[in-house]
Copies of this chain bind each other. A is one copy, B any other.
Amino acid sequence: MANIKKPHTSPEERIEQMIQRLKESNHRITPQRFGILKVLANSTRHPSAETIHSAMIVHYPTMSLATVYKTLALLKQVGEVLELQFSELGNRYDGNHPQPHPHVICTDCGEILDPSLLDLKKITEKMMRETGFKIVGHRLDFYGLCPNCQ
């Protein structure tokens, strides 16, 4: 059973994986895209599009938010980023673990953690049997207050 909390892949390796996937699907590696991959691979904080943009504008002063959104949509499409939708918090992105996995979310400061792996395979099968759905993904969030905000 793999431990997705501390993957053996380094940020560099992760960036390389994502680049490969983009090339495979005939997409160009632009400085903007490379920069976004770098931010994603080096972040454990599940950044928002805005956060990624802010981090990048220091080095790429002309970087636009639209490009961040377009790149995130592309990465989502090729399966290299996991999008966590929140209507209040705004969407957040996980580029290190694109497969569904549980999150623990602070309702006060918005911090998002990846706790250790939890296998929902059996539960997913149960759900498929019960509902007749063909289930291809899931989402498991726990909401509460992080140690700092308590």
B-contacting residues of A (Cβ < 8 Å)?
A: 85-88, 90-91, 102, 104, 106-107, 113, 115-116, 118, 123-124, 127-128, 130-147, 150
CB-based contact A145/B123 at 8 Å: no
Q: Quickly give the copy total for this chain.
A: 2
Known: A85-B86, A130-B116, A133-B106. A141 touches B142 (CB 8 A): no
Instruction: Identify the 3 closest CB pairs spanning chains A and B, nearest first.
Output: A135-B144, A85-B87, A137-B143
Considering the complex, give the chain B residue whose CB is closest to the CB of A129: B115
Known: A85-B88, A87-B86. A136 touches B144 (CB 8 A): yes
Known: A85-B88, A88-B85, A91-B87. A133 touches B118 (CB 8 A): no
